[in-house]
Amino acid sequence: MQREMSVAGAFYPARDVELERYFEHFTQLYEEDFTLPSLKVKAVIVPHAGYIYSGYTANIAYRLLALSGLKNFAVLGPSHRVAFEGVSMSEAQSYVTPFGDLEASRPLYKHLQESFALKEKIVHAEHSTEVQFPFIKYYCPDAKIIELIYGRTEASTLSDIIEEVLSLPNTGVIISTDLSHFYTLQEANKLDQFCVQAVESLDISLLHRGCEACGILGVEGMLLSAKRRHLRASILDYRTSADASDDTSRVVGYLSAAFS
């Protein structure tokens, strides 16, 4: 069973040539001002909006993953279209991307299926996870993945899954979330700083003082796991859609962070 592309041509280009130009452009912009940090990355937080808005932010994290040596990834994202209880794991054997198929990690799938009460795949077109697949295939072409989408659940449940994944050799975690939605730029910056500072300091209490990330449960689960596994968080980038659109009246916030 293949997981077909559902938001190609909308959230990201459907042609590999166009996608590669995006990634090269993001890298060139970054290297005009910054040097990629030297980090041994085990997990990242990345955004999931259209690439013209959040691709630059995500690109930094994926360049680090390309240097990590990790071979398997669990990609976790919130469900935007379907309401359900718990966590759903895709049964797909491969994931279609413009760069070719991204294979599923059958050993990781089997391990998590045996370890947790995960639902059969009930969400078939979730963009929060799908927009990560072209990045993974481009930067980690031999990597294999599993796709996990969560509905109403507890951050501790996600943390248990994240910790199990992180305990496995050559295996990492990708947490997908955007930050605040449709506030003015000034309001968004204020709210998003709760998220940014919470991630940087691994301070879960800060998340609940104002962070409005759509994937806040995944972020909280990651912070719980990072604290227990003594990982350090590094903020890679924060910006809003206003950086691309110049519209400061209704913006969405984006964050990328690395855990090493």
Q: Residue 124: its pLDDT value, please? A: 63
Residue 3 lies in a domain: no
Q: Locate tokens 């998003």: which residue?
A: 192
Q: What is the pLDDT of residues 95-109, one digit of tens each?
A: 999 999 999 999 999
pTM of this structure: 0.97
**Number of neighbours of residue 245 by Cβ within 10 angstroms:** 13
Q: In whole angstroms, what is the distance from residue 21 CA to residue 99 CA?
A: 13
Domain count, the chain: 1
Residue 169 lies in a domain: yes
Instruction: Report which DSSP code applies to 31.
Output: H
pLDDT band at 120 (very low <50, low <70, confident <90, very high): confident
Q: Which residues, at least 6 apart from 171, have a Cβ–Cβ distance to it below 8 Å?
A: 70, 71, 72, 73, 74, 108, 165
Residue positions counted in the chain:
260
Q: Locate tokens 């994240």: which residue?
A: 162
Q: What is the pLDDT of residues 123-143, one digit of tens each?
A: 668 999 999 999 999 999 999
Q: What is the pLDDT of residues 32-53, one digit of tens each?
A: 999 999 999 999 999 999 999 9
Q: Residue 123: its pLDDT value, please? A: 60
H or E element that contains 133? helix 132-139
Residue 1 lies in a domain: no
* Domain residue limits at 169: 9-259
Is residue 121's pLDDT more than 80?
no
Q: Residue 253: its pLDDT value, please? A: 98
**Number of neighbours of residue 13 by Cβ within 10 angstroms:** 18
Residue 212 lies in a domain: yes
- What's 85's domain CATH number? 3.40.830.10
- Mean pLDDT of the chain, nearest integer: 96
Q: What is the mean pLDDT of residues 245-252?
A: 97
Q: Residue 122: its pLDDT value, please? A: 59
